[in-house]
Every structure is written in C-alpha cells, then in structure tokens.
Amino acid sequence: MSQQTAPASTSAGPELRALARREGYRLTLQRRLVLDALGEMSGHSTPDRIFERVQVKSPGISRATVYRTLTFLLKLGLVTVAQIKDNATVYELASDPPHHHLVCQGCDEVIEVRHEVVQPLFSRLEREFGFRVRTDHLMLFGLCERCRRTRRSGS
C-alpha cells in the first residue's frame, strides 16, 4: 500500500509529527489513523479493535497495515504494548509521565499505578545489579484486595 501523508484534520498532534520527523520518518495517513484510533479508545486496545476503528475512517487499510503500523509506532515510542489476561496483546498511547498497571487475575480489574510508585524499584535494580530498566509500561499480575478477601472467606 502506498504511504500517503495524512491531512491536517486528523487528531494526531503536531508533537507526534515532529517526533516522527526528528527520527527521520513521516507521520503517514496510516500511522495517524492508528494513533487517532488509540486516542479515541483511550486505554488498552487490541489490534482487532484498533483495526475496526481505523476501518470506519478508511476501509482500504488492511489488518496487516495496522499491525505493521503498531510495530512501527512501538519502535518510535509513541505506543506501548502489554500482554494481559489470556495472553491478549494490547496497545495504548505512550504517556508522559509513564504509568504502570496492576492486573487482577480474579476479576480482570486493572489498576493504574503512577511511575513514582515503581521508580524506587527501578533505581534499586540499577544500584544493586547494574541493570537499567528500559520500560515505561510495567504490568504486574496478582489478586486485588476484593478477590483476596473473597478467597479467604471461601465464597
């Protein structure tokens, strides 16, 4: 598929275009449509949901193009990816500041955690092991307080 330049009317901001240009890339129509879809859906979205949203605006864009675009945007740091329940891959726009998630394996609740909460762990890993964490989207799996209470009471 040819790489068209997106019209100015899409919602992907000028800062994203500037970042792409700085890295030596254009923010093509396909890339902007995927970014727009992620912004409109807010939160974690599967590639299939993103594809469905893009199809509403541009039916000619293929599922493969959406997948390639997500990979490109991930490489550029504009989106983050995570594996959630049942190994589903989800994407969301990268945030500034970064944030992280606690995912309950009992009820599927997702709790957003500010970066400041996990930053001391990252700093300690670097200090003690010389290992610099390079992620701005950590997902930790476990049981939320409600599910732990339910399991303790035997309900």
pLDDT tens digit sequence for 92-148:
888 767 888 898 989 988 888 999 999 999 999 999 999 998 877 788 999 999 999
3-state helix vs strand vs coil in the chain, percent to 5? 50, 20, 35
Tell me the average pLDDT of the chain: 83
**Predicted pLDDT of residue 2:** 37
Tell me the residue length of the chain: 155
Q: Using CA of residue 24, residue 52, residue 92, residue 17, what is the dihedral sign? A: positive
Helices 29-41 and 47-57, interaxial angle, to 10°? 120
Structural tokens at position 47:
């590639």
29: left (phi over 0), alpha (psi -120 to 50) or beta: alpha
90 beta partners: 82
9-20 pLDDT tens trace: 345 556 666 777
The torsion angle over the Cα atoms of residues 75, 119, 116 and 70, rounded to 10 degrees, is 10
- Cα distances from 101 to residues 12, 44, 57, 138, 139, in angstroms, run 25, 11, 31, 6, 5
Going by their DSSP bridges, the two strands 79-84 and 99-104 should be labelled as: unpaired
pTM above 0.85, yes or no: no
| pLDDT above 80 (res 7) | no
pLDDT-wise least confident of 35-44, 53-62, 90-99, 111-120: 90-99
CB of 30 within 8 A of CB of 61?
yes
d(CA 97, CA 112) in angstroms, rounded, equals 12
Q: Sorting pLDDT into bands at 50, 70 and 90, what band is 84? A: confident
Q: What is the CATH number of domain 99-153?
A: 3.30.1490.190
Residue 70 has pLDDT above 70, yes or no: yes
- Percent of the chain with pLDDT strictly greater than 70: 86
Q: Is residue 55 over pLDDT 90?
A: yes
For domain 14-93, give its CATH number from 1.10.3720.10, 3.40.50.300, 3.40.140.10, 1.10.10.10: 1.10.10.10
Q: Which residue has the higher pLDDT, 154 or 118?
A: 118
Give CATH 1.10.10.10 domain extents, the chain. Answer: 14-93
pLDDT of residue 21: 79
CATH 3.30.1490.190, the chain: domain bounds: 99-153
pLDDT band for position 83 (cuts 50, 70, 90): confident
